[in-house]
Amino acid sequence: MRIYQAEDYKAMSRRAANIISAQVIYKPNCVLGLATGGTPVGLYQQLVDWYRKGDLSFAETRSVNLDEYLGLSPHHEQSYRYFMQVNLFDHIDIKPENTHVLDGLAKNPEAECAAYNQLIRDLGGIDLQLLGMGHNGHIAFNEPGDDFGLETHLVNLTESTINANQRFFESRDEVPRHALSMGIKNIMNARRILMVVSGEEKADIVCRAFAGPVTKEVPASVLQLHPDVTLVGDRAALHKLAEAGVPVCG
Angstrom distance (rounded) from CA 165 to CA 160: 9
Of 68, 112, 127, 143, the catalytic one is: 143
Please tell me whether residue 142 adopts helix, strand or coil conformation.
strand
Q: How far apart are the first and last CA of the chain?
A: 14
Of 117, 136, 189, 204, the catalytic one is: 136
- Asked if 131 contacts 231 with a C-beta cutoff of 8 angstroms, the reply is no
Interface residues toward ligand F6R, by CB under 6 A: 35-39, 66-67, 132-134, 138-140
Rg over alpha carbons for the chain, rounded to the nearest Å, is 17
Angstrom distance (rounded) from CA 110 to CA 70: 12
Beta bridge partners of 6: 234
Phi, psi angle pair for 63, to nearest 5°: -140, 150
143 assigned to active site: yes
By beta carbon distance, the residue nearest ligand F6R is 132
How far CA 214 is from CA of 1, 131, 190, 209, 244, in Å, comes to 14, 17, 19, 7, 16
174 assigned to active site: no
CB 205, min distance to ligand F6R, A: 10
| Active-site residue set | 67, 136, 138, 143
